[in-house]
Amino acid sequence: MKYVMGLDVGGTKTDCLIGDETGVVCGFGSAGSGSYEYHGVEAAFVENKKAVECALSDADLSLSDIECVGMGVAGADLPDDFEMLEKEIYEPIFGEIDRVFLNDSFAALRGGTDASYGMVIACGTGVIAAGIAPDGSRARAGGWMPEYGDKCTGETLGMEGLKSVWRAREGIIGWTLLTDLFLERSGCGDVDEFFYRVYGGKLSTESLQPMAQLVFRAGLAGDAVACDILGEGGRYLGAMLNAVARRLSMYETAFGVSMAGSVFSEGAPVLREAMEEAVLAECGSARFHKPLWSTVVGALLLGYEKDRPILEEVYERLSMSLDESARKYSKAFRLG
């Protein structure tokens, strides 16, 4: 029997899933953050190894039983990142086992759809768009942090909301519900007190987090200023997806766009509507949907599909097995 492993390495946790060649889930393991960006390479190695060993133990297997590993790794962005991570973490763990090693956005993309190609827009703490074309070519946009051009993250949306409160205070823009929401969050009696406490360093923006949540609340209430912020953010997300579509020559292709992250789960409809309008203006056959599977399932599918598309009967059996395993492990594998 041949076995495939999927490894989802994130900033919060590391999940590992094992399936056999017929599509039956055999083992699952989880550990802490395996991303070197958060706690360094040594700590990342420990957590990656722990997740892998937990899954192998659960499946009663050894590494020699694994034919291929699909990996979605947060922080694997540049060629130097991949080279360093292979040398310091993944070669010591996996040796010569075949691997599909990609940024975690591509694992999220594969898990987000039931097709072998399409796009994902992930928007929460960070933001990234990624796509896989029918011919297997890949492209991404964003994922570099706000100081390198990213917009429409939870951080940038929240800061735009706060800046709007300052502008309204000076009469540059009209009244906004955001003022009331920020005053409620800060405990200040009026906007002048709020301004001077923040300006004087007596009240930190960190203590006001999650500020994006206030923008979402105001947007859901129909506040014009908040809707402008969210609309601009949605158009930017659309531009990211269009950039990926152009690189992959997919603007005339029918494809799905998986929408992942808290900005979509918590945000006002205006953001999604603005994004969809921007994309459909260039990619008329795009369709938008919630993610179907979690990222670790996407990583597992990358392993199954290293050399060829997964067989339909294997995919169907895997789907049923994942639903059964979700109850066993108290883990939500199916999202959509």
Two tokens at 102?
A: 């990609």
Burial annotation 117-128 (CB, 10 A radius, 16+ → b, else e): bbbbbbbbebbb
The list of the chain residues with pLDDT below 50 reads none
State whether the Cα torsion 241-134-116-10 is positive or negative.
negative
Q: Going by C-beta distance under 8 Å and a sequence separation of 6 or more, which residues neighbour residue 320? A: none
Look at residue 266 in the predicted model and tell me its pLDDT: 82
Look at residue 265 in the predicted model and tell me its pLDDT: 83
Q: How far apart are CA 257 and CA 247, in angstroms?
A: 16
Look at residue 29 in the predicted model and tell me its pLDDT: 98
Look at residue 185 in the predicted model and tell me its pLDDT: 98
Q: What is the pTM of this model?
A: 0.86
Look at residue 12 in the predicted model and tell me its pLDDT: 85
* Other beta carbons less than 10 A from residue 138's beta carbon: 17
Q: Render 50-103 in DSSP notation, one character per residue.
A: HHHHHHHHHHT--GGGEEEEEEEETT--SHHHHHHHIIIIIHHHHTT-EEEEEE
Q: Render 106-129 in DSSP notation, one character per residue.
A: HHHHHHH-SSSSEEEEEESSSEEE
Look at residue 122 in the predicted model and tell me its pLDDT: 92
In order of their start, the domains of the chain are 3-114+292-329 (3.30.420.40), 117-291 (3.30.420.40)
Give the phi and the psi of residue 214 in degrees, each rounded to 5: -70, -35
Give the phi and the psi of residue 100 in degrees, each rounded to 5: -110, 105
At 284 the three-state DSSP class reads coil
Look at residue 294 in the predicted model and tell me its pLDDT: 95
Look at residue 333 in the predicted model and tell me its pLDDT: 96
- ∠71-77-81 over CA atoms, to 5°? 85
